[in-house]
Structure 1
């Protein structure tokens, strides 16, 4: 069996990622320069999918690989992506804390 993308699960995943990062559908619409915000809501509902170009741009916006955004029937690397994402955040916060501690940030 070859891999198939699950539009509904992908939409749910996009929504979860956006919620975690504090992004709104309007933010994504403006970032991707979409004609209307309804396109993003269609992704959430699984009615449609972002184009490959938009997925590529979303991966940059979300700071994660496209594989962590798209859901399908192959064994998911989602938990690895979430773990990796959380690890990046922890490193960033730790670095910021050390800089604050050393009075390097005003």
Structure 2
């Protein structure tokens, strides 16, 4: 079976929170930057229950002054199941 790399959502969420704090930003700051009515999406990102969309990931990387690769944590040990 081919082992495909997969995103570790929980580790990525922790990474987002760490990078946000290192940049001196609050969840409210990100909420305002993205124009979200509530902070729930950002909390979901940080808890690993949801991922930012690609366009939001691009903005997040720019705001945090990092690359997208520095935000996303890849877990190459997870096996992605593909149906034929």
TM range (shorter): 0.7 to 0.9
The answer to whether the aligner puts 1:16 opposite 2:35 as a matched pair is no
Moved over 6 A (4+): none
Q: Within 2, Cα distance between the matches of 1:55 and 1:48?
A: 12
Query: Per-residue displacement from partner, 1:11-48 (whole Å, max 9, x unpaired)?
Result: 00000001111101111111111231011111111111
Q: Which has the higher helix share?
A: 1
Q: Which has the higher strand share?
A: 2
Q: CA RMSD in A?
A: 1.0
Q: TM-score, with normalisation over the residues of structure 1?
A: 0.66
1:59-74 to 2 correspondence within 5 Å? 59-74=61-76
Structure 2: where are the runs of 5+ without partners?
Answer: 77-84
Corresponding residue for residue 28 of structure 2: 26
Q: Rg larger in 1 or in 2?
A: 1
More RCO (CA 8 Å, sep 6+): 2
Q: Within 2, Cα distance between the matches of 1:71 and 1:35?
A: 27
Q: TM-score, with normalisation over the residues of structure 2?
A: 0.82
> 2:59 pairs with 53, 57, 68, which one?
57
